[in-house]
Amino acid sequence: MVLMRSVIVAGNWKMNSTPADAAALAAEIAAATNVAGVERVICPPFVCLASVGTVLAGSGVAVGAQNVHAEVAGAFTGEVSAAMLAGLVSWCIVGHSERRRDQAETDELVARKLVRCAEHGLRPILCVGEQLAEREAGRAEDTVRGQLERTAAELRRHGAGFPSDLVVAYEPVWAIGTGLTARGTDAAAMAHEIRQSLGREGAGINPESIPVLYGGSVTSAAIGEFLAEPSIDGALVGGASLKPDEMAGIVAHAGLVGAARMAGEAGT
């Protein structure tokens, strides 16, 4: 049931902001997005986690990391482990399309990152999505299904499964910074496929309880179309998450969905 799922808006700041300005920006966003019924998360760069965490304490806005290393510890210069993050964040983005593209992250590697998150109580936002050529060839659903199947297989190899607190972000990579536009119906169809795949592969979890976020060039002007789809439970926001006014608009739309779900639950 939709009513079981939280409405979530997570901001991914990517490689933007510095420790000198991140805290003020986070505080401004928190104040501008104080809307009931929406879980808010800000994912700043690693070097800003401490300052952002301090200013957001008690605000109701959670802090997340943009990445985590797949190993527990070791000779991995420049990397950050789940144990290092555990005292700083409660969420973590895993398998973002930019890391799959630029760092050649595989589904197997992503699965091991999910294991690390589970070990340290970090709630993961698992990113999946297809390229333009895959969509044009009619293989969009096959691509995402394959990502989840390979991730599940690697999790099983480590004696694990998809965590019960999993959140999935659908990134139509072809609609991010390209000028091309995905539609709400595209995202809804993919959310259905994601939950179908989780149902087949995610032993021990109820796929209908897993929130699916939209993550394709999210703006306040466009998000309403996606949140109008009952299968979409919020957004993973990129560039717009650095703009308090944009985040306020996005969270306001999400708040309407959250309020409707709470009203529906109260009436059942």
Mean pLDDT of 82-105: 97
Neighbours of 262 (CB within 10 A): 14
Structure tokens, 239: 């560039």
Which stretches of 78-216 are assigned E, i.e. beta strand? 91-94, 123-128, 167-170, 212-214
The one catalytic residue among 69, 96, 130, 201: 96
Reported as type and span, the H/E element at residue 101 is helix 97-102
Mean pLDDT of 75-90: 98
DSSP sequence for 234-263: EEEESGGGG-HHHHHHHHHHHHHHHHHHHH
Mean pLDDT of 62-90: 98
**pLDDT above 90 for 265:** no
The mean of the pLDDT values for the chain is 95
Superfamily of domain 2-266: Aldolase class I (3.20.20.70)
CA nearest 199: which of 212, 188, 210? 210
**Whole-number pLDDT of residue 202:** 75
Reported as type and span, the H/E element at residue 152 is helix 140-157
For the question of residue 149 being annotated catalytic, the response is no
Taking the mean position of all CA atoms in its chain, how far away is CA 146?
A: 19
The one catalytic residue among 39, 98, 134, 171: 171
Distance (Å, whole) CA 80 – CA 50:
14
Distance (Å, whole) CA 208 – CA 40:
21
Mean pLDDT of 176-201: 92
CA nearest 92: which of 119, 70, 114? 114
**Whole-number pLDDT of residue 1:** 44
Mean pLDDT of 72-94: 98
11 beta partners = 42, 237
**Whole-number pLDDT of residue 176:** 84
Neighbours of 133 (CB within 10 A): 10
Mean pLDDT of 15-20: 96
SS3 27: helix
- The domain ranges of the chain are 2-266
Task: Dump pLDDT digits (tens) for 199-227.
Answer: 999 778 999 999 999 998 899 999 999 99
Distance (Å, whole) CA 211 – CA 200:
17
For the question of residue 96 being annotated catalytic, the response is yes
pLDDT-based confidence at residue 3 (cuts at 50, 70, 90):
very low
Amino acid occupying residue 179: G
**Whole-number pLDDT of residue 19:** 95
**Whole-number pLDDT of residue 2:** 45
**pLDDT above 60 for 92:** yes
Distance (Å, whole) CA 125 – CA 96:
9
pLDDT-based confidence at residue 178 (cuts at 50, 70, 90):
confident
Mean pLDDT of 167-184: 91
3-state class percentages of the chain: helix first, strand second, coil last, to nearest 5: 45, 15, 40
pLDDT-based confidence at residue 268 (cuts at 50, 70, 90):
low
**pLDDT above 80 for 266:** no
CA nearest 126: which of 168, 82, 170? 168
**Residues shown for the chain:** 268
Task: Dump pLDDT digits (tens) for 29-60.
Answer: 999 999 999 999 999 999 999 999 999 999 99
Mean pLDDT of 175-179: 83
Distance (Å, whole) CA 115 – CA 212:
20
Distance (Å, whole) CA 175 – CA 181:
5
**pLDDT above 60 for 262:** yes
**Whole-number pLDDT of residue 196:** 96
**Whole-number pLDDT of residue 263:** 83
**pLDDT above 80 for 166:** yes
